């Protein structure tokens, strides 16, 4: 069975709780496989927002070179997903992001893990005849390097839920 493994050396950069909606399910009674990628997108964009690097609709920003998802257990409605976002392999012009999904009522039990590999912008900028120097990847890489790990606690615990905004790093 083909299954991508998340690297051991990765930095936790964002956590958030995402509700499982009735409409996320398919005819088989579990969350449709396309929705897992939507959950990945939701946490990735939340991370961009939290560090002040919102994607630009005019085309400035990192480009997804590939994406993968390993379905380990089926998610079902009702419930909430704890999504965790990680960064690894940060280079000068690209980096990899990884995500895990677990139910909030089953802390520590990974239902899905995946990634968006090689978020890059230099290659695309060069192909478009633009200055290939990265304008977005460098700030994202800096933010990932200095961001403290977010805190999330299972329901009923006394600490924060991890749903708030994270502090932005100084340049």
Among all chains, which residue has been given the structure tokens 């994202």? 140
As beta bridge partners, residue 82 has 17, 102
Residue 154 domain-assigned (yes or no)? no
Residues 2, 35: Cα–Cα separation, whole Å: 20
- Name the residue range of residue 29's domain: 11-146
Backbone angles phi, psi at 135, to 5 degrees: -115, -20
Report the CATH number that the domain containing residue 93 is assigned in CATH: 3.10.129.10
The set of residues, in sequence order, having a beta carbon less than 8 Å from that of 87 and lying 6+ positions away, is 10, 11, 13, 95, 96, 97, 98, 141, 144
Number of domains in the chain: 1
Going residue by residue through the chain (171 aa), what tens digit of pLDDT does each one get? 667 788 888 889 999 999 999 999 999 999 999 999 999 999 988 988 887 777 777 666 677 778 899 999 999 999 999 999 998 887 766 778 899 999 999 999 999 999 887 666 555 555 555 555 555 556 566 666 665 556 666 655 544 444 444 434 443
Q: What is the pLDDT of residues 45-67, one digit of tens each?
A: 898 888 777 777 766 667 777 88
Residue 81 domain-assigned (yes or no)? yes
């Amino acid at each position: 069975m083909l299954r991508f493994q998340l690297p051991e050396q990765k930095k936790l950069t964002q956590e958030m709780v995402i509700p499982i909606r009735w409409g996320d399910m398919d005819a088989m009674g579990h969350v449709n496989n396309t929705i897992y990628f939507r959950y990945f997108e939701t946490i990735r964009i939340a991370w961009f927002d939290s560090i002040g690097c919102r994607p630009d609709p005019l085309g400035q920003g990192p480009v997804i070179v590939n994406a993968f998802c390993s379905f380990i257990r089926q998610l079902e409605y009702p419930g909430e997903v704890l999504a965790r976002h990680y960064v690894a392999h940060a280079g000068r012009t690209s980096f990899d992001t990884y995500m895990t999904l677990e139910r909030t009522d089953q802390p520590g039990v990974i239902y899905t893990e995946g990634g968006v590999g090689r978020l890059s912008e230099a290659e695309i900028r060069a192909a478009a005849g633009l200055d290939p120097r990265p304008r977005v990847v460098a700030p994202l890489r800096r933010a990932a390097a200095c961001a403290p790990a977010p805190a999330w606690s299972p329901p009923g615990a006394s600490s924060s839920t991890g749903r708030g905004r994270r502090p932005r790093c100084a340049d």
